[in-house]
Amino acid sequence: MVQWCCPLCRLHKPFSTRAMLQYHLTYDHGEVKVTWAENKHRDGRQWCITLILPDYDELDDSSSDESNDDDDERRAKNEIRDETAVRAMSTSPTGSSLPSRVRDPLFLPGSDDEDSSNPVTPPQLPEVVEELSAATEELKLKHLVEESEPPEDVKPHLTSESTQERRPEPSVASRTSYRGNLPLRYPSPPPPTDPLGPAAQYPYICKAGEEESEQAPYSCRIGGPRIFDLLNDLPLDEFGVMSWAVVDREEELFEMDDVRDEDKVMLALWNRWIMLNNSSFIFNDYFKGVLKFLDKYWLIIHKAAGWRALRAFLLMMNAHHYFPMKKVLDALKYYEEKIGMNLWYREAQDEEA
């Protein structure tokens, strides 16, 4: 052959050297005996390879002999292991045989039965079987007697409370309106006991006169409705696909424990407004931006936050140097004009006068 190719297989391409071919024949065709002979001529050297293939019948006989030898060795090992196990079971660790006897009962220290040396023998197997069969017969007879008795008509005890659908009940009685002679363009004022607080009363999400209605909305929050639930009435269409970010941010605000509910409402409303008007608020006058914010959300601020929460929000912006204190007072006056705060409780004042 002209190239160093394997004469027995076609798994490899022609090898580069004779040593590589010899390595392949040695490790991949170990059952074949390979001999090399070098012949020198005038033109150069030539290598003659001789391959001696084994007899397959001899291979089968040798493999069967090896398998038989392995089976004999495995069988001998198993017999030795079985004899060792039998010896270990029939003798104690010290070499003495274990007598077959009933174990002595175990007692706790200080018990009354500790002094008794008579072992307790377990009952014989036939006696146990008879007792079990007798107990089974008694259970069968008792079951048959219970089935033979006619069942009594069991009716649930119905009350007026169980027949009606249970709904969360407000802890406060029906709400009271304090409008008086207030013009219709102004919203209803908050209770006189807290004129600077929100105008909404418990249960906040129900309108006046809907507390006893079956169609009245109610909150699923643990502990009942909260005043910031009123923000759910505001539309989210203007935020488009980013409405999820608004809801996620508001729920994060509502879970704060160190912030009043009215302040949470102010922060949530400002988050909604600044999300759409961030550029105009930064590049224009800050006070004008606050007035635009009040123009859009003054009604929900009056209903769910109140004058006190708005003042705290404006003071926070003053602390961050958005505008001076005079602008805080101007923004509060602007809000008071929108809700008609100067006209609240005029009838009560006239009666006192």
For residue range 238-287, what is the model confidence (pLDDT) as tens digits? Answer: 999 999 999 999 989 888 888 999 999 999 999 999 999 999 999 999 99
Residue 155 pLDDT more than 60?
no
Q: Give the residue, 246 or 218, on which the prediction is more confident.
A: 246
Q: How confident is the model at residue 97 (pLDDT cuts 50, 70, 90)?
A: very low
Q: Which of 77-81, 93-97, 154-158, 320-324 has the highest mean pLDDT?
A: 320-324
pLDDT at 9 over 70: yes
More confident residue, 315 or 350: 315
How far is it, in rounded angstroms, from Cα 70 to Cα 89? 29
Residue 2 CA, chain-centre distance (Å), reads: 72
Q: What is the pLDDT of residue 161?
A: 46
